[in-house]
A and B are shown apart, each in its own frame.
Chain A
Amino acid sequence: MEALFSGAALLLDWQVILALLIGSMGGVVIGAVPGVGAAVAIAILLPATFALPPLVGLTLLLGIYGSSMYGGALPAVLLNTPGTAVNALTTYDGYPMTQNGQAKRAVALAYSASFVGGLLSILALIALSPALAAVAPLFGSREIFLAALLGIILVVLAHRGQTFAAGMLASFGILLQTVGLEPVNYTRRFTFGQSWLTSGFDLIVVVLGLFALSQAFLLLSQHDKKPEPLDEARALKGSVLSGFKELWLYKRVAGVASGFGVLMGMVPGVGEFTAQFMAYSYAQKTSKTPEAFGKGAPEGLIASEAANNAVPAAAMIPLLALGIPGEALTAMMLSVFYVHNVIPGPQLFQNQMDFVMALYLALLVLNLMVLVFLLVSSTLLTRIIEVPSRFVGILILLLSFVGVYSLRNSITDCAVAAVFGVLGLVLKRLNLPLVPIILGMVLGGIMEVKLRSAMPRVKTPLDMIDRPIAMILFALILLVIALHIRTVIQAHRARSKARGG
């Protein structure tokens, strides 16, 4: 309780409050513009936050992360175009509701479900803190190595239908982090005699290239997408607060969907898509009108929005407790921690619990700020979502320069980012995942360091798993792989049977 009050005191700094305001409102606007999204915005802003105090920088980024999905729901519902990738499922039922003349109802439900998802996950986070603080110190080098290994395996296996692509891209990420001068033996790895490769690939340069520049190139090389004009049927007159009243009727779906969001957010490498998929499937299976799903079912919309908005807070759990990011956005935030010498992990929970609590409370406050902002800004946001895509592309290109160049004033960094920008464009056009590269880089680095520091105490292979948590993690790794193989075999048999029959 003392940590909670100390955390609240940390939040009362005017800089933190300003960062929360800018982050939450900026995040909604960024989310509402199709083609931008939190990943692009955070990648661009990341270097600028290095000059800010750690809590200020992190709350700004958290604000964008936590609020972009609220904004992303608006074009998903009104234009059938998700503002951020994770709002894609919202279009399934949100847009049909708009077509049926229920735009305001759909937006109100999306906002209220997002709010409940965000709120429940933060409460879960606060409630879990004592347990996390007790368990986190039990994680030594080998446990963190195994957790990172589990994360990378999950990243690969979570990309159903693209497992091989995710595997090769994650391996590429692991390789990228090894390039340069190895810090223990000072061996040059994959530098090909080039001095500019000696310092390796900077995570932020790669992130900016893959996420921001690629998006700029993509938007600029396409024709402007002209959204349909927002007619009377899509007008958002009246208060969106009415959504809460209706949400109460679907409280079970909202609660379970938020639960899936919390659970999936905590597991490294899984994230919003799996949470949404599970929540949507649950809502459909337990609905009295499953046939209405995809045609404007409010439960479908609620399941999708509550689940995706519950993930950001939950994704902070492996990051803060173990220093292991579960997805690209928390991987980017990890670099803010390192720049300020705040090392996430068990020590953070033991020594700086007030800082952790301040971050939790910041998430809570930002959800409230977003809700207030949405109540007064829906008309403005409906104008923003009509910004032409090439216009957005120009702005992203100009902003990406700030992100890359301000790091070290290096033209080489910019060239590297441009190369990764082209690679990102190719991957996006082929619908192949970018996230495994980033997580490969981050988790690969963690695995290398932790395995090396764990090995002096490991005499036989069994020593690696002779502690309870290590044993559980190892069992989970085996279970995850076994379940994946089983699913592939079952799906294959079902297809063979269907073909035979």
Chain B
Amino acid sequence: MTRIKSLQELFKRDRRPGDIVFAWVFLLFALFLLSQLGSQAPWNPRAKIFSQPAFWPTTAVVLMVGFAGLHVLSSALSPRLVGRWAEIWAWVRSLEYAGWFMAYVFLVPFVGYLPTTVVFAVLLGLRAGYRSWAKLGLLAGLGLVIVLVFKGFLQVKIPGGALYEYLPVALRSFFLTYL
């Protein structure tokens, strides 16, 4: 018992609920990569060890497994924290915003950078719970400013939307270049 207590003390650290879940997921991921080393990081029979293409991936995966194992051990030896499932639910909830981001990414090449940005700024504002015209208007305005600064002024590489092709000729090239 004393030895277990002693081990617990040795691995004691600040943790938050869900720590052990992440620790196990990471360890399993590292073990999966370890099982794939032979096929995914082949050794070249003619190269010396430090010039082997597989040397660094092997080193990294072995270290990942070692450290992840110790991380799991330290989590397992620490007292259980309440709120594990609530924490995992919080991780899952964040996927919604990853989805919003990807929808934005998919729509820009079709609808165009300016309209997509302004519409998404307002929609995300509504999703975040803002209902006042002032706040939604401010978000739309900031969306416009982002487009003007980055595409109009800094000329970052964002292609014009496919919908811009339907604009009158006089406006089309302006929209394609600056908005």
Contact = CB atoms under 8 A, between A and B. Distances in A.
Contacts of B112: none
B28 to A, nearest CB: 12
B51 to A, nearest CB: 5
Would you list the 5 A-B pairs with minimal beta carbon distance, nearest first? A167-B67, A168-B67, A175-B60, A171-B63, A187-B53
Given A48-B150, A448-B56, A422 B101 contact: no
A356 B149 CA distance: 29
Interface string B12-26: 111110110010001
B159 A425 contact: no
Size range of the interface on A?
A: 35 or more
B152 interface: no
B97 A492 contact: no
B102 A415 contact: yes
Contacts of A168: 26, 30, 63-64, 67-68, 71
Interface in B51-98: 51, 53-54, 56-57, 59-61, 63-64, 66-68, 70-71, 74, 87, 90-91, 93-98
A233 B42 CA distance: 66
B143 A398 contact: yes
Nearest to A165: B71
B18 A430 contact: yes
B49 to A, nearest CB: 9
Contacts of B14: 161-162, 431
Interface in B100-150: 100-102, 104-106, 108, 117, 120-121, 124-125, 127-130, 135, 139, 142-143, 146, 150
Given A162-B13, A171-B63, A391-B139, A401 B101 contact: yes
Contact of A496 (B6, B51, B90): B6
A271 interface: no
Interface stretch (A123-131, A216-224, A475-483): A216-224
Interface string A412-437: 00110011011001100111100000
Contacts of A218: 94
A418 B56 contact: no
A398 B97 CA distance: 11
A281 interface: no
